[in-house]
Chains A and B, each alone.
Chain A
Amino acid sequence: MKKDLLSIDDLTTDEIHLVLDTAEAMREIGQRPIKKVPTLRGKTIVNLFYEPSTRTRTSFEIAEKRLSADTLNIAVATSSVLKGETLADTALNIEAMAPDMIVVRHASSGAGHLLSRICRSRVINAGDGMHEHPTQALLDAFTIREHKQRIAGLKVTIVGDLLHSRVLRSNVLLLTRLGADVCVSGPPTFVPAGIERFGVRVSPRVDEAVAGADVIMMLRIQQERLHGAFIPSLREYFTTFGMTAARVALAKPDVIIMHPGPMNRGVEIASEVADGPYSVILEQVANGVAVRMAVLYLLAGGTEAD
């Protein structure tokens, strides 16, 4: 493995499979009465979060604790960062205390790259701006593989705010690498320039996009996008792109519905779908711990054979 995990592109295809296979073993640890192994004992991991996050931070922290690492959470309000210490100086200060890994979440794309140029510690990107969220894509792939036993050849439809989504970028890189047929759909205001070069199909007609899908992945719509005139109203978004039972019925009968969270019920997804039998949204959360344990373990130098 490379020193850092900043992008899915930092992983070879073999390494992606290794992470997913290792996560299978890690999941078993979470099912034991004593959910802890000594694998990362003596390792220090700093969770440096410049953006509020419940799911991802908790998931990393549980993963770290199950591997017996010493973990430390630093939550920094972005506003104070602009006035005070630079990211580079914060990184140098943390680095001076010699942690083994830094897990970073930041509102600016490429923040992890800046850290990785400064730090000897391994840097794991837990979401940088609109760029990537690689562990989310890995846990999504793990969840898909669990249900479909494969990824190659599956039709995966991703619907929502494609432009601002780091989950989209990591998933597109990972799923196309593993041979999925990826179709993305959203209002044209939410389609990033040049997206076809990612090797995905783009359709503004969501019914067409979900037809025959094996997997439907929903992306969050943020309220503040109304101000940028990306969409007229949340109500109109729901009627045009919201995932309803009627739309799900256009997909394959065994379709699974995914969402990286946090969900906006009644905006991008109807409750009947979010809570429906095909929803794997909470499984994604559960799998997140196992996948992050695998990433931490492998980055720390482990191999599957250990």
Chain B
Amino acid sequence: MARMLLKGGRVVDPANGRDGEFDVLIEGERIARVGRGLSTDGGVKIVEIPTGLVICPGLIDMHVHLREPGQEHKETVATGTAAAVAGGFTAVACMPNTSPVNDNAGVTNYILQKAAEANLARVYPIGAVSRGQNGEQLADIAELRNAGCVAITDDGRPVATAMLMRRALEYTSMFDMPIIEHCEEQTLKGDGVAHEGFHASALGLRGIPGEAESIMALRDISLAELTRGVVHIAHMSARQTLDAVRYGKSRGVRVTCEVTPHHFVLTDEMLRAPIPYDTNVKMNPPLRGAADRDAMLGGIADGSVDVIATDHAPHHADEKHVEFDHAPFGITGLETAVSLAFDRLVHAGVISLARLVELLSVNPARILKVPGGSLAEGAPADVSVLAPDLRVTVSAAAMRSRSKNTPFGGWTLRGGVAATIVGGRVVYVNEQASVDV
């Protein structure tokens, strides 16, 4: 059995109450021991972790579009998981809005097979709530679960009706499996393409108010209360939605939520500058106003927000090289999330490093009920080695994702990824971070 000792470095493992200098011994695919001054005998590969680097349980991105099957020109499981490990993620949960939709075990198995072939990050498929994501009939949810789906969602659109959402929550409660909801009241969204406010008005872009999101979140929180089901609010963007989540949590409703890096970093001012009508700032939900962005930071700081997830949404350059109205919604996120989170959350004093690990690892594992989020002895050896002070200049061209649709190209950020270990295997090393493996 291969053995590896990560020596030095700061271990941040909030699930086990650890934050300090520890060694981590990995045996095979599992964590064997975490302790100080672990003695080594022959046959152990020693990896010196330079001072200043952080060892934490592997990061899990619970909201990723891998696009396979059907949209391999945007991304594949192989390119998406390559992007994931380069971004410090040891696991991703992938959305079912592929072509065909992941609403049956055949598609789930296909994705898992591609993930096994790629053999990089772990891939947890998320199944559809409704057949074809059409919002009419429930998908075969037990079949999806048995095939390996960890949650269900109709992401890309909301669960169409209150009745279907009620039934889905009731039905999934027997598996204790979350429904991930893309909250959007579609008639209120209309043909909107940007956050409703001054900047969209000035550019003559049709607006989407924050209430398009919060109305649906309130519906789902009420239905989760009615059914005792579990709902997770995806890519929360509006301050009204955060209020809705706080209301639900205060009533003991089983509701959790996630925020994307772009929604805690950017605002709708990006519509106008530096590049007016840049289709790489078109996403759904849209970049909101400064008050919303600040509310997201507040929710991250006070614990109302459970998870940071990227909503990694790759699109081919041709698809984005069109009129703003006609461009698809979405940006990539896997390879920028850690740097943005360090720069804007940890170094900015919004949260501690331990809290960041909760948001990126502990909580996604808990919500999806997947292994990880912990460096306990016997846990899978999924480990992210982070470089909090690494200067990172974002280069879209250098990204591993097949698509380059990021608004962060050229940004210089403090904080990055040094190495990524999945199941005891080093799957990514950043040469800039001087970890010698």
Contact call B205/A130, Cβ cutoff below 8 A:
yes
Contact call A114/B206, Cβ cutoff below 8 A:
no
| Total number of residue pairs linking A and B with CB closer than 8 Å | 64
A228 proximity list for chain B (CB < 8 A): 190
Asked whether A108 is an interface residue with its Cβ less than 8 Å from the other chain, the reply is: yes
Contact call B201/A194, Cβ cutoff below 8 A:
yes
Interface residues of A in 259-306 (CB under 8 A from B): none
Contact call B197/A194, Cβ cutoff below 8 A:
yes
Asked whether A220 is an interface residue with its Cβ less than 8 Å from the other chain, the reply is: no
Report the bound CA distance from A240 to B321 in whole Å.
43
Name the distance in Å between A7's Cβ and chain B's nearest Cβ: 9
Report the bound CA distance from A129 to B277 in whole Å.
13
Contact call B325/A109, Cβ cutoff below 8 A:
yes
Contact call A108/B325, Cβ cutoff below 8 A:
yes
Residue of B nearest to A6 (CB): B276
Name the distance in Å between B344's Cβ and chain A's nearest Cβ: 25
A187 proximity list for chain B (CB < 8 A): none
Report the bound CA distance from A65 to B318 in whole Å.
37
Task: Give per-residue flags for B274-288: 1 if the beta carbon is below 8 A from chain A beta carbons, else 0.
Answer: 001100000000000
Contact call A130/B204, Cβ cutoff below 8 A:
yes
Report the bound CA distance from A301 to B324 in whole Å.
30
Contact call B207/A108, Cβ cutoff below 8 A:
no
Size bracket of the A interface = 20 to 34
B326 proximity list for chain A (CB < 8 A): 82, 108
Report which of B196, B202, B277, B324 forms a contact with A198, defined as CB distance below 8 A: B202
Interface centre among A87, A129, A228, by most chain B C-beta atoms within 10 angstroms, is: A129
Task: Give per-residue flags for B349-370: 1 if the beta carbon is below 8 A from chain A beta carbons, else 0.
Answer: 0000000000000000000000
B199 proximity list for chain A (CB < 8 A): 194
Name the distance in Å between B62's Cβ and chain A's nearest Cβ: 32
Contact call B204/A109, Cβ cutoff below 8 A:
yes
Contact call A193/B197, Cβ cutoff below 8 A:
yes
Known: A86-B321, A87-B322, A114-B323. A109 touches B201 (CB 8 A): no
Residue of B nearest to A195 (CB): B201
Report the bound CA distance from A194 to B269 in whole Å.
13
Task: Give per-residue flags for A218-240: 1 if the beta carbon is below 8 A from chain B beta carbons, else 0.
Answer: 00000000001000000000000
B201 proximity list for chain A (CB < 8 A): 192-195
Report the bound CA distance from A108 to B277 in whole Å.
11
Interface residues of A in 107-137 (CB under 8 A from B): 107-111, 113-114, 128-132
B200 proximity list for chain A (CB < 8 A): 193
A82 proximity list for chain B (CB < 8 A): 326
Asked whether A32 is an interface residue with its Cβ less than 8 Å from the other chain, the reply is: no
Asked whether A169 is an interface residue with its Cβ less than 8 Å from the other chain, the reply is: yes
Report the bound CA distance from A200 to B322 in whole Å.
33
Residue of A nearest to B322 (CB): A86
Interface residues of B in 165-203 (CB under 8 A from A): 190, 196-203
Residue of B nearest to A162 (CB): B201
Name the distance in Å between B151's Cβ and chain A's nearest Cβ: 35
Interface centre among A108, A111, A113, A197, by most chain B C-beta atoms within 10 angstroms, is: A108
Report the bound CA distance from A106 to B324 in whole Å.
12
Contact call B204/A114, Cβ cutoff below 8 A:
no
Contact call B325/A129, Cβ cutoff below 8 A:
yes
A193 proximity list for chain B (CB < 8 A): 196-198, 200-201, 207, 209
A107 proximity list for chain B (CB < 8 A): 325
Report the bound CA distance from A169 to B203 in whole Å.
9
B203 proximity list for chain A (CB < 8 A): 109-110, 131
List chain B positions with a Cβ less than 8 A from chain A: 190, 196-207, 209, 276-277, 318, 321-326
Enumerate 29 A-B pairs (CB-CB under 8 Å) in ascending A order. Answer: A86-B321, A86-B322, A88-B321, A88-B322, A107-B325, A108-B324, A108-B325, A108-B326, A109-B203, A109-B325, A110-B203, A110-B204, A110-B323, A111-B323, A113-B276, A114-B322, A114-B323, A128-B204, A129-B204, A129-B325, A169-B202, A193-B197, A193-B198, A193-B200, A194-B197, A194-B199, A195-B198, A198-B202, A228-B190
Beyond contacts A108-B323, A110-B277, A194-B198: 16 other A-B pairs, Cβ-Cβ < 8 A, are A82-B326, A86-B318, A87-B322, A88-B321, A106-B323, A107-B325, A108-B326, A109-B205, A110-B203, A110-B323, A128-B204, A130-B206, A166-B204, A192-B201, A193-B209, A195-B198
* Among all A-B residue pairs, the 10 with the closest Cβ atoms: A194-B198, A131-B204, A110-B277, A130-B204, A192-B201, A108-B323, A109-B204, A108-B325, A197-B198, A193-B196
